[in-house]
Amino acid sequence: MKKIVCCISCAAIIGISVFYAGRLLQPNFTVDAFHAIESFHSMPENSFDVIACGSSHVYKGLNVNEMTERYGFSAYNYGCNWQFLNTTTLFFEDALRTQSPKVILIETFNVDKVHEDTDLNGEIYYTKGISDFKGKREYLAQCFGKNKDRYLSYYIPLLAFHENWTNVNYYSFDSGTSVEEYQASHGFSGSDHIVPTVISDPATFEQKELPDSSVRLLDKIVNICNENNIRLIFYTVPYEGEYNYSDAMAEYAAANNCTYLNLFEHMDDVGLNGDTDFMDIEHLNISGATKVADYLGEYIVSHNLLSETN
């Protein structure tokens, strides 16, 4: 009996150690992502008129509470760090499991990038915070293919992130933005930091075609929105760099009865100032995020997108 108890105890200790070692060695930014996902799912069902999905360009760059305060509709910022297009699609599908928005905003910074047949990384890992459903199973199959070792790493992150011990530092023990903070901001994570940023003329950007893998995911988003009578807006937030898919996105939106707003071309309309509205060369600060919220909120209201009929 003592041997059985010892074996069970040892197995439990090893299991707990592996679990917490994996949590310690996972990429730091995944902590915030888990809290963001938990915060969204703590919200009352069917309580938001507008939901925004996408990468850090949305969760740092769209002050949704400004939309509520200025225009009166409820909004939530359900974005997380980085996000290739299939991760954003997963978050979009997950959002509709508990909410019935009238408008969906999808930011397009990584519209050309899709995780396919690849090893585990921090972005894929933080989707563990989303519970199992058909869309998630499809997402993991696209990311991992038929490689069982990748699935094992997903559920036992120590296998994938064991080399991260060299990166362990003070921030590895940081709890990040809390669930309560995300609840109060409705998913927005802003900064007052200012970094002067130069935004290039979008007329000079080299334009490219969307990959077929991206088009298939965009089609999926459009079809789901059509089935649920949801108005769909794709948009691109300005940053210091070249965005190469604005023409392709405009053509796609026109062909699929949805909207594309390239804010590179509307800097003056939005009121964005490169000297005051960026926290770094890629992300808006609170000032910039509030201006974008004002612009998109006004667009939604002035185009009557919250009405019951299309």
| Distance from C-alpha of 299 to C-alpha of 224, rounded to nearest angstrom | 22
Tokens 């990959």 belong to residue: 211
| Distance from C-alpha of 98 to C-alpha of 103, rounded to nearest angstrom | 15
Q: If pLDDT is split at 50, 70 and 90, which confidence band does 165 have?
A: very low
Does residue 229 have a pLDDT over 90?
yes
Q: Which two tokens stand for residue 226?
A: 């059509």
CA angle at residue 37 from 107 to 96, to 5 degrees? 65
Contact yes or no for 156/22 (Cβ under 8 A):
yes
- Strands in 103-107's sheet, in edge-to-edge order, are 75-79, 50-54, 103-107, 231-236, 259-262
Q: Which two tokens stand for residue 150?
A: 């990748």
| Distance from C-alpha of 214 to C-alpha of 212, rounded to nearest angstrom | 5
- The mean pLDDT of 150-163, rounded to a whole number, is 74
Crossing angle (nearest 10°) for helices 134-144 and 148-155: 120
What is the three-class DSSP state of 74?
Answer: coil
Which residues fall within 8 angstroms of residue 226, CB to CB, at 6 or more apart?
Answer: none
Q: What is the pLDDT of residue 59?
A: 94
The 10s digit of each residue's pLDDT in 197-209 is 999 999 999 999 9
Domains of the chain: 2-302 (3.40.50.1110)
Does residue 159 have a pLDDT over 80?
no
Q: What is the pLDDT of residue 245?
A: 98
How many of the other CB atoms lie within 10 Å of CB of 54?
Answer: 30
Does residue 172 have a pLDDT over 90?
no
One-letter amino acid identity for 15?
G
One-letter amino acid identity for 8?
I
Count each helix (H run) and each strand (E run) in the chain, helices first. 14, 5
Predicted TM-score (pTM) of the model is 0.90
Does residue 173 have a pLDDT over 80?
no
